[in-house]
Amino acid sequence: MLDEPLEAPQTLELTAPSKLTAEHDCTQFDCGEPSINEYLLSALKQQQRQNATVYVTCQAGTLIVKGYYTLSSAEIIRDLAPGKLKRGGAPKEISAIKMGRFGLDRHYQGQGYGQDILQDAIERCIQASAQIASKAILVDALNDEAYRFYEKCGFKPAEKISPLTLYLSLL
């Protein structure tokens, strides 16, 4: 139940994000959002089907997943793209990277770990865009709280795409 006190893990240290494998334990993850929790349980299959690449961070010294994000390729229709992304004779579809899911276990929320994990995702996207052209990172915020988090981290509104969509330019 949500009103029961949370039992704190013995250590609040997290590992650096790495690609999800079958050895990772996803069963203990609880970010407080059922859809994010449930996705993680099927994330390895999604990754194997090339629908997304899943990066996880674990409780230090374990393979117990405490945070994750997904990355996949995406396109932005030029007419819906924010102004900066349309510059330079942009084609009809502008290449982007989509961060489709992002979650952090409730025990770790509010301590800066979310920004650290997001920074890892941004750095991976920058590296990928140097190899495969991508102009932006797209996120669809799950709710207003998530929207504010992404804004605080430098993402800009892309309301022509969707009211809860934000982007971060990689240009």
Q: What is the pLDDT of residue 3?
A: 46
Rounded-to-integer distance, Cα 121 and Cα 150, Å: 12
Which residues are identified as catalytic?
A: 150
Question: For 132, which DSSP code?
Answer: S
Cβ within 8 Å of residue 18, ≥6 positions away: 55, 56, 57
Computed on alpha carbons and rounded to an integer, the radius of gyration of the chain in Å comes to 17
Q: Where are the domains of the chain?
A: 18-169
The residues, any chain, with a CB within 8 Å of residue 71's CB and separated by 6 or more, are 52, 53, 55, 97, 98, 99, 100, 121, 124, 125, 128
Lowest mean pLDDT, pick from 11-15, 19-23, 58-62: 11-15
pLDDT digits (tens, 9 = 90+) for 116-141: 999 999 999 999 999 999 999 999 99
* pTM metric for this prediction: 0.90
Lowest mean pLDDT among 3-7, 37-41, 96-100, 149-153: 3-7
The larger pLDDT score, comparing residue 65 to residue 171, is at 65
- Domain 18-169 annotated CATH 3.40.630.30: yes
Question: Average pLDDT, whole number, for the chain?
Answer: 92
Any residues with CB less than 8 A from the CB of 67 and at least 6 apart, and which? 14, 17, 56, 57, 103, 104, 105, 108, 113, 114, 117
Task: Please write the tens of the pLDDT for every residue from 44-90.
Answer: 999 999 999 999 999 999 999 999 999 999 999 988 998 788 877 76
Helix (H, G, I), strand (E, B) or coil at 33: coil
Using the predicted structure, report yes or no on whether residue 1 has a pLDDT greater than 50: no
